[in-house]
Each structure stands twice: as structure tokens, then as C-alpha cells.
Structure 1
Amino acid sequence: MHELGIMTGVVDAATKAAHEAGATRLVGVTLRIGEMTEAVEDALNFAFEALTEADEFTKGAALDIVMVRPKSICLECGTEFEHDRFQIFCPACDSFATELVAGRELQIDSIEVDLPDSNGE
């Protein structure tokens, strides 16, 4: 289950950024992850919930996952096309000489935090 390792890194990075921004609480994280990572969305959600429930700073934080479909470009004819994890032949010329250009992403798009009241409260 590599989802736990992925989410440990995500929670650590988001928490660090939130603390550096002076936040009082992590409210949410938006994560963009490619289908070619073979991460299971339900397992990612479960791992995030388990990791964030243990700490008052992150407890109740929301996770928004954007799954990125695989996209390749044909090195023979230049066609760019979306596909599933297994079928990567070019639909235009049936070439197997393709290069993956999307679908392996793993990035935090945004984090949402609560900041202290500007009146010093």
C-alpha cells in the first residue's frame, strides 16, 4: 500500500507549509495525482484521514483529489491522445512509439489554512 507513503509525504509537506505561513490549522489540501502512479483514490482518502486525525492541527482537514488521465504523444505522427493505463498505441497510426506526457503527476495544487485574526486575537 504505497498510498500511505504518498499521503505521509503530502501531510508532512502541507503541515510544514502551513506552519511556515503562521497558520493555526490546516483546513484542506488539493492533490493532483496521475492514474499511472497506480494509486487508489479510496486508499489515498483513507490514509489522509488516518494521518490527519492524530493531530489537532490537521484534524478534520479535507482532501480534494484530482485524478489525471494518462496522455501520450505519438513519436511517429505527432498525435496527442488520452488512454487508459494499458493501451498506449497511437489511435491515428497504430504506432507503439509513444511518450507519456501526463498521468504520472503527484503534486499538491493548494492548501487551505486558518490564519490568526489580524487584530491579534
Structure 2
Amino acid sequence: MHELGIVFHIIKTVERVGEENQLSTVSSVTIQLGEVSGVVHTELADCWKWAVKKTELLKNAELLIETIPAVTFCEGCDTTYETVRHGRICPHCGSGHTYLVQGNEINLKEIAAC
């Protein structure tokens, strides 16, 4: 389960930021997950609930998840399209010369603290 590893990394990063900024409590953490990042939202949320209870700074912090839509670019016709809906083959021209532009990221967006 790589979700637990992701949660540990987020917590470590937030704790470092908290120390640098002398934060006493973090109330929420917002992350952005790409639609095709391979991260299961429910698993990530469950791991978060378990892991933050073991920290001081984030003990009751909420995890907020925003989804970044997956978008693919077609080199054949220079257009973009929804990756999940259409896959690797361009729905406009049928070309397979495509690549993912966005949608596989995992970003720490915001830390709300007291």
C-alpha cells in the first residue's frame, strides 16, 4: 500500500514547515491528486486518519483532496483531450502519438494552521 508512504511523506513535510514557521497546530492539509496518479482516495484518507493521531502537530488535522483532471496532448493534431474518457488514442484524429500533460501529480497545496 503506497498510500501509507505518501501520508508519511506529507506528514514529514508538514512537520518541517510547521517547525520552520513555529506552528502549534495544523487544522487541515490540502493536497491535489492527479486523476491517474494511481492513488486510491479512500485508502489515502484511511491512512491519514491513522497516522496523524500519532503526531502532535497534526493530531486532529483534516485531509482535503482536490482532483487534477488527466489531460492528454495529441502530437498528430495539436489538441488536448480527457485522458480517462478516451485513453491513449486521440478522439479527434485517431493518432497514437500522444502524451499525458497533467493528471499524475501529487501536490501539497495548502496547510491551514492555528
Q: TM-score, with normalisation over the residues of structure 1?
A: 0.88
Distance 1:85 1:91, change over 3 A: closer
Cα distance in 2 for partners of 1:46, 1:60 equals 13
Instruction: Tell me which amino acid in the other structure corresponds to 1:2.
Output: H
1:99 to partner: Cα distance: 1.1
SS in 1 for 2:43: helix
1:16 to partner: Cα distance: 1.1
Cα distance in 2 for partners of 1:57, 1:23 equals 8
Cα distance in 1 for partners of 2:47, 2:103 equals 21
Match of 2:60 in 1: 60
**1:33 has 2:10 as partner:** no
Number of aligned residue pairs: give it: 114
Instruction: Tell me which amino acid in the other structure corresponds to 1:22.
Output: Q
Q: List 4+ stretches of structure 1 deviating above 6 A.
A: none
Structure 2: which 5+ runs fail to align? none
CA-to-partner distance for each residue in 1:25-68, whole Å, 9 max, x for gaps?
11110000112221000001011111101123211101110122
Highest Rg: 1 or 2?
1
Instruction: Tell me which amino acid in the other structure corresponds to 1:62.
Output: E
What is the root-mean-square deviation of aligned Cα atoms in Å? Answer: 1.4
Cα distance in 2 for partners of 1:38, 1:69 equals 13
Match of 1:117 in 2: none
Does the 8 Å CA contact 1:15/1:26 hold for their aligned counterparts? no
Cα distance in 2 for partners of 1:69, 1:12 equals 26
SS in 2 for 1:37: coil
Q: Percent identity?
A: 29
